Structure 1
Amino acid sequence: MTEIRHIVFDIGKVLVHYDPELPFRRIIPDHRRRAWFLSEVCSHDWNVEQDRGRSWIEAEDELIARFPDEADNIRAFRRHWTEMVPYAYDNSVAILHEQLDAGRDVTMLTNFASDTFREAQDMYPFLKASRGVTVSGDIRIIKPDPAIYAHHTREFGLDPAATLFIDDSEKNVDAARAFGWQAVQFEDVEQLRQDISKFYNSTK
């Protein structure tokens, strides 16, 4: 196994908690109507297009044209976005800092809208601690497209075989491995600590 020289962290659900339902428990108290709204109106597929670089104005206009009665709730998604990322996973962040303190090359690769990512960096300064970040909304490519791994590799001068990627999504992990990176799926902090130790110890 090639010696690991680079570690790439995903952000959402690895370092920072994300749950779009949180503000909508207040905005749409009825759980059935809320479930419908988040699956059929402001859905994952709709939101991921902002991660791909679509503007919020365009995204809102497209939905309001289809669901005019939901205009206020649609606009509430962006307006209350910070409530969807209420805390960081302190133990995961501790692992991030351990890697940095050990002098390891750490970068981040995330599916995130450009503007909300900058807000997240202000909320969580550790998101500025690594050597750099590839934000999907900036380059208009999202995981698991192989092109985003290629971009990150070029941008940060990584050796793919010497790169360890950490992501909560199985499909993103599989795509990273197919590209040529080493990769592990984040499940919990203890497992992550064991995975990192395994990769480093196996190449000594």
Structure 2
Amino acid sequence: MAAKIDHIVFDIGKVLIHYDPNIPYERIIPDPEERKWFFLNVCTHEWNLEQDRGRAWAEAEDLLIKQHPERAEQIRAFRKHWHEMVPHAYDGSVAIMESLIDQGRDVTMLTNFASDTFRHAQELFPFLKKPRGVTVSGDIFLIKPDVAIYEKHARDFGLTPAATLFIDDSLANVEGARAAGWQAVHFVDAETLKKDLDALGVAY
């Protein structure tokens, strides 16, 4: 039987807030095929992940502009219009998190996020300041699903791994948490999360 849960750790993007880089780029690159090419070959997921790992935006932009000088304005638009990529919160899961905090549950966050855009997100979504604390990948140069980031979060916040529940939309990140000895659930939507919490005996 799983250990009693004493600590609950939330991911942020696509769990508490929506994230979609297509939103500003539908305006910046209106042609869908060209936009698809741009994200597959220029501002790729892997390129953006390095900012989550701590690379500075200026360095990231310079790297791509050297490779694609004709795309300089479109490349710089990624950081410039980042706030448009996070248009709204997921009210259902935010309500669950806030309810857990209000009950006195120990709630923290663990996120793959660039350091500066995370602080921007906290201003846009003040509920991101409510948990006891957060580990931001861009601050510590580690990213999920590296087991080391879960181990660091547990050490920094005094969590007992077996008594910790992690909630993330990425299956790879869920598996990373389990490899670190945590309990973990795959986030699909707020209703599914409620069922998962019920099954684990966590009242919300």
Which TM-score applies when normalising by structure 1? 0.98
1:21 has 2:28 as partner: no
Give the 5 Å matches for 1:102-113: 102-113=103-114
Q: How does 1:58-137 map to 2 (within 5 A)?
A: 58-137=59-138
Counterpart position of 2:58: 57
| 1:140-159 → structure 2 map (5 Å cutoff) | 140-159=141-160
Task: Find the aligned partners of 1:85 and 1:35 in 2 and give their Cα distance.
Answer: 19
Partner SS for 1:42: coil
Which deviations, in whole Å up to 9, do the C-alpha atoms of 1:10-69 show, x marking residues without a partner? 000000000001000000000000000011100100000000000000000000000010
**Structure 1 vs Structure 2 CA RMSD:** 1.0
Structure 1 runs not aligned, ≥5 long = none
CA distance in 2, matches of 1:194, 1:6: 18
The AA in structure 1 aligned to 2:192 is: Q
What are the ranges of 5 or more consecutive residues in structure 2 without an aligned counterpart? Answer: none
Residue equivalent to 1:166: 167
How far is 1:188 from its partner?
1.1
* Cα distance between partner residues in 2 of 1:40 and 1:129: 38
1:184 equivalent to 2:185? Answer yes
Q: How many percent of aligned residue pairs carry the same amino acid?
A: 65
Q: Secondary structure at the match of 1:180?
A: coil
Q: Give CA-to-partner distance per residue, 1:88-133, whole Å, 9 cap, x none.
A: 0011100001111111000000000000000000000000000000
Equivalent residue letter for 2:135: T
Letter in 1 for 2:142: I
SS at match of 2:16: coil
Letter in 1 for 2:101: L
Equivalent residue for 2:45? 44
Aligned AA for 1:132? Answer: G
Aligned-partner SS, 1:119:
helix
Q: In the TM superposition, what is the alpha-carbon distance from 1:71 to its structure 2 partner?
A: 0.3
Counterpart residue type for residue 196 of structure 1: L
AA aligned opposite 2:138: G
